[in-house]
A and B are shown apart, each in its own frame.
Chain A
Amino acid sequence: MIWHSMLGQQCGFRDGDMERIYLDYGSSKPIDPRVLELVRRYLEHNYGNPSSLHSVGLEAKRALEEARAKIAELINGENERTIIFTGSATEANNLAIKGAALRNIGKGKEVAASTIEHISVLNSMKELQKNGFILNLIPVDSTGIVGLEKLDKALTKNTTVTSIMYANNEIGTIEPIREISKIVHDKGLYLHVDATAAAGYIPIDVQADGIDLLTLSSNDLYGPHGAGALYVKPGVKLQPVLLGGGQERGFRSGTENLFAIAGMGQAARIAKDEMSQEADRLKGVRDKLIKEILTIEGSYLTGHRTHRLPNHASFRFNHIEGESILLNMDMHNIQVSTGSACSSKTLEPSHVLLAIGLKHEEAHGSMVLTLGRSNKMEEIPTIVKAVEETVERLRKLSPLSK
């Protein structure tokens, strides 16, 4: 028995010589070594506060502005002043949605978002709703694409903030942002786009795309955790959520987390330089992986087949449960994620899987693979074998697969 032989191993019951295959880059990424080098320099030497007026402070300020410029370049922002640093993408989403809705309350008290937005977007919207705003949730089709006609119908001249993500982290679907932007600007005021999962994988051009507010995360670009950014188009009216000393042009008080921000800037520069090549490479691996995994009986792709992030492959399997899949794959030293009810704190299936029309029990068997820099074509046979074994073993345990 292969499993018995593994049990002898000390921690985690894993074979010591099994190479780790990390397929959960969507949850967290290792910091790029080139970024790490820079970050270490900042931690060791650049202890200045960008708000201080002396030379040490000035040096810090320069670093801050440099990072701003690099991030603006990644998304073709008009200038570096369009970038506001935050502590995370979640904070940037909160600032964009609450900040814009409250500042423009005179123009209307309606907001809108797709049903598959990140929880930080949906919860910000719901908080507004509790405070008297009307929230319109825009449904998506079975592949996760936002219904444009439904969007058009839902928006009114009172809609101040509409939030649609560039691409979804659980099903990989890329939204038609340019068309969405036209609809939003025909009717309402601002389009906010959460680009956390998309940035660094697909080109983003806030000017050509027609985006007013855009959220980015440092770690999703292989930068350190603890920094995020919000692009704010010149002229967009926003009020702060965090109050204090007036840093970040008053939009986000609090001393800037300089080392993380500098790292995020460097990560954005690298992403800009290497994105197209890396995306092509990952797409090749991704497509092969999807093709092979779908040969397993009772397996289905979730999300859109082609309008899909190049690093993203997500599935569901009949008759088995996602947390078990995750644990079993981890025994092969392969890390994946799932949107199953059992794996969540609330014991509810992922709202994204329900939004694309899956039934409870279908959402149960979800497995999400997000590829990154370490993944190679050569890993595919090992991955596919592990998935096959996992599905077969769990189905043998399942009363549903008789």
Chain B
Amino acid sequence: MDQIGYSKKVMEHFMNPRNVGTIEDPDGHGKVGNPVCGDLMEMFIKIKKEVITDIKFQTFGCGSAIATSSMVTELAKGMHVDEAMKLTRSDVASELDGLPPQKMHCSNLAADALHEAVKDYKSKKKTTGKGSKRPRKDSRQSKR
């Protein structure tokens, strides 16, 4: 077995992950831990007219966790937020030409992180109205 049976696409995303990093003042932020192995994933999104215009991630985890987060960001970019909520782990896995069965749980993590970020955006929208700027964070930043 070459590298625990990861597809070429998984290895390619692992080696060259897209959209790595953080977004300074995100419209939505999701952070999830993998209950199975204890790993961690964070996702940041920017929204314009209900469409995800920018997305960034950071992952502490296995090769599959890194590749699936990269793939999720690629899939989600340009997507309507409601569509993004419908992205599933099997969408992610099949885009990556499959994952070994013992690694499917990592793709949950990536989809969950995205969903959390969208939920965060939606709840902020409710409290701060449209435009989704966050005055709390702005005022904190201006202190520095």
In the assembled complex, the CB of A192 is this many whole angstroms from the nearest CB of chain B, namely 33
Most buried by B among A319, A327, A328: A327
Most buried by A among B6, B42, B66, B102: B66
B38 touching A364, Cβ below 8 Å: yes
Q: Does A399 contact B (CB under 8 A)?
A: yes
Binds A, one of B53-61, B88-96, B115-123, B128-136: B53-61
The 4 closest A-B CB pairs, nearest first, are: A342-B62, A399-B58, A323-B62, A341-B37
What band does the interface of chain B fall in when counting residues whose beta carbon is under 8 Å from A? 20 to 34
Q: Does B11 contact A (CB under 8 A)?
A: yes
A343 touching B62, Cβ below 8 Å: yes
Taken residue by residue from 15 to 50, chain B's Cβ proximity to chain A (1 for < 8 Å, 0 otherwise) reads as 111001000000000010000111111100000000
- Which residue of the partner chain A has the closest CB to B16? A3
Bound Cα distance A342, B102 (Å):
9
Contacts A327-B3, A345-B102, A347-B37; A4 near B16 (Cβ below 8 A):
yes
Q: Report B-chain residues with C-beta under 8 Å of the C-beta of A376.
A: none
A397 touching B66, Cβ below 8 Å: yes
In the assembled complex, the CB of A351 is this many whole angstroms from the nearest CB of chain B, namely 15
Given pairs A13-B8, A327-B63, A347-B36, 12 additional interface contacts (CB within 8 A)? A3-B16, A12-B11, A320-B60, A321-B39, A324-B14, A324-B61, A327-B3, A331-B15, A342-B64, A347-B37, A364-B39, A399-B58
Q: Does A361 contact B (CB under 8 A)?
A: yes
A347 touching B15, Cβ below 8 Å: no
| Chain B residues close to A by CB (< 8 Å) | 2-4, 6, 8, 11-12, 14-17, 20, 31, 36-42, 58-66, 102, 105-106
Bound Cα distance A398, B61 (Å):
8
- Which residue of the partner chain B has the closest CB to A364? B38
A6 touching B15, Cβ below 8 Å: yes
Q: Report B-chain residues with C-beta under 8 Å of the C-beta of A398.
A: 58-60
- Which residue of the partner chain A has the closest CB to B36? A347
In the assembled complex, the CB of A45 is this many whole angstroms from the nearest CB of chain B, namely 34
Taken residue by residue from 1 to 33, chain A's Cβ proximity to chain B (1 for < 8 Å, 0 otherwise) reads as 101101100011100000000000000000000
* Residues of A230-245 whose CB lies within 8 A of B: none
Name the one of B6, B20, B38 contacting A360, with C-beta atoms under 8 angstroms.
Answer: B38
- Which residue of the partner chain B has the closest CB to A360? B38
| Chain A residues close to B by CB (< 8 Å) | 1, 3-4, 6-7, 11-13, 319-321, 323-324, 327-328, 330-331, 340-343, 345, 347, 360-361, 364, 396-400
Name the one of A7, A323, A399 contacting B59, with C-beta atoms under 8 angstroms.
Answer: A399
Name the one of A323, A327, A328, A397 contacting B58, with C-beta atoms under 8 angstroms.
Answer: A397
In the assembled complex, the CB of A353 is this many whole angstroms from the nearest CB of chain B, namely 13
A342 touching B65, Cβ below 8 Å: yes
Bound Cα distance A327, B10 (Å):
11
Bound Cα distance A158, B3 (Å):
47
Bound Cα distance A12, B4 (Å):
12
B11 touching A13, Cβ below 8 Å: yes
Q: Report B-chain residues with C-beta under 8 Å of the C-beta of A1.
A: 16
Bound Cα distance A170, B124 (Å):
48
20 pairs, CB–CB < 8 Å, chain A vs chain B:
A12-B2, A321-B39, A321-B61, A321-B62, A321-B65, A323-B63, A327-B11, A330-B3, A341-B38, A342-B39, A342-B64, A347-B102, A347-B105, A360-B38, A361-B38, A364-B60, A397-B58, A398-B59, A399-B31, A399-B40
Q: Report A-chain residues with C-beta under 8 Å of the C-beta of B60.
A: 319-321, 364, 397-400
Name the one of A328, A330, A342 contacting B37, with C-beta atoms under 8 angstroms.
Answer: A342
B66 touching A324, Cβ below 8 Å: yes
Most buried by A among B3, B15, B60: B60
In the assembled complex, the CB of B22 is this many whole angstroms from the nearest CB of chain A, namely 8
Bound Cα distance A98, B36 (Å):
33
Q: Report A-chain residues with C-beta under 8 Å of the C-beta of B63.
A: 323-324, 327
Bound Cα distance A218, B58 (Å):
44
Q: Report B-chain residues with C-beta under 8 Å of the C-beta of A6.
A: 15
Bound Cα distance A342, B15 (Å):
18
In the assembled complex, the CB of A252 is this many whole angstroms from the nearest CB of chain B, namely 31
- Which residue of the partner chain A has the closest CB to B63? A327
In the assembled complex, the CB of A6 is this many whole angstroms from the nearest CB of chain B, namely 7
- Which residue of the partner chain A has the closest CB to B12? A7
In the assembled complex, the CB of B31 is this many whole angstroms from the nearest CB of chain A, namely 8
